């Protein structure tokens, strides 16, 4: 079995023969993460709702490592608790839990209730279920571990139009921040928490609008490069730029959003016509 080597240092949980669970693993960022963990010699638990795509991903990755594919709705707490049993019965260990499964946006403020429920159930409850079901077992192992949640810049700056998605990803940020606090205050805990915040990335969601990769988008593999680099440095917030948006632009946009409160501006003032010129000046400073 040939294993691709990556020169960059890694988090101690990314280790040969240890186990990585990736939800939403059949495509996009999840699949790229699974490939990277396999290249490091890790065993994999691939979790997805798309049975056919999951079978394809598992067939590709089981040439590199031991793979357990599981069709699971992460928004269903009973299903996630059953997943815990499956994983520990098979491997007896979890080094990495990557809560990555998600639904795309489209949940405007007055969208139908079912749309809101579906987005929140997967994007937010999927992360909460994963944390609550796996974190206590991972802490009790006494070994190096990492819990990664895939967030979004939309959960921080909250652009108008995708309100349900924004709410779900804002919740992911808050839940994962609370997890990091809990872990660092648990005596003897060797598990870290990380919030992955991708930029514009060419995934299955993007392909709905673009058949070919837009110039401005990163590939999923670039996002995982940034994730692994950030984890190795001990970063919690792993904020990814892309080919259009620089790290400095991200910092300024996030700062402006936070200052809506501290400066007593109207909410979402970045998109308010009265603040258009002020925002433009701020970005140029």
Q: Which residues are catalytic?
A: 165
Would you say 260 and 268 are in contact if contact means Cβ atoms under 8 Å apart? yes
d(CA 271, CA 123): 25
Query: Burial, 235: exposed, middle or buried (Cβ in 10 Å; 0-12, 13-18, 19+)?
Result: middle
**Residue 12 DSSP symbol:** T
* Chain-centre distance for alpha carbon 66: 23
Phi-psi region of 188 (alpha: psi -120 to 50; beta: other; left: phi over 0): left
Q: Tell me the backbone φ, ψ of residue 227, rounded to 5 degrees.
A: -60, -50
Neighbours of 144 (CB within 10 A): 17
Q: Helices 28-39 and 220-233, interaxial angle, to 10°?
A: 60
**Residue 232 DSSP symbol:** H
- Establish how many alpha carbons lie within 13 A of residue 192's alpha carbon, considering only the half-sphere containing its beta carbon: 16
Q: Tell me the backbone φ, ψ of residue 25, rounded to 5 degrees.
A: -90, -5
Token pair of 120, please?
A: 């929140």
């Amino acid at each position: 079995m040939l294993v691709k080597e990556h020169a960059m240092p890694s988090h101690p949980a990314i280790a040969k023969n240890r186990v990585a669970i990736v939800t939403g693993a059949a495509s996009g960022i999840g699949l790229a993460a699974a490939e990277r963990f396999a290249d490091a010699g890790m065993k994999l638990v691939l979790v997805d709702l798309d049975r056919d795509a999951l079978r394809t991903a598992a067939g590709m990755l089981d040439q590199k490592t031991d793979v357990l594919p599981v069709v699971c709705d992460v928004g269903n707490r009973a299903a996630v608790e059953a997943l815990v049993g499956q994983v520990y019965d098979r491997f007896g260990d979890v080094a990495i839990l990557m809560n990555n499964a998600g639904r795309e946006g489209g949940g405007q403020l007055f969208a139908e209730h079912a749309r809101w429920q579906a987005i929140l159930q997967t994007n937010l409850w999927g992360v909460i279920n994963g944390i609550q079901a796996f974190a206590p077992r991972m802490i009790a192992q006494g070994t190096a571990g990492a819990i990664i949640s895939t967030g979004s810049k939309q959960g921080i700056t909250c652009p108008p139009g995708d309100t349900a998605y924004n709410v779900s990803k804002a919740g992911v940020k808050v839940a994962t921040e609370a997890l990091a606090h809990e872990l660092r205050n648990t005596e003897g805990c060797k598990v870290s928490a990380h919030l992955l915040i991708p930029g514009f990335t060419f995934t299955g969601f993007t392909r709905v609008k673009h058949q070919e990769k837009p110039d401005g988008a990163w590939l999923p593999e670039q996002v995982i490069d940034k994730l692994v680099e950030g984890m190795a440095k001990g970063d919690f917030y792993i904020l990814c730029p892309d080919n259009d948006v620089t790290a400095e632009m991200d910092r300024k946009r996030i700062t402006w959003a936070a200052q809506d409160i501290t400066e007593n501006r109207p909410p979402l003032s970045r998109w308010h016509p009265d603040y258009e010129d002020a925002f433009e000046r701020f970005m140029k400073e």
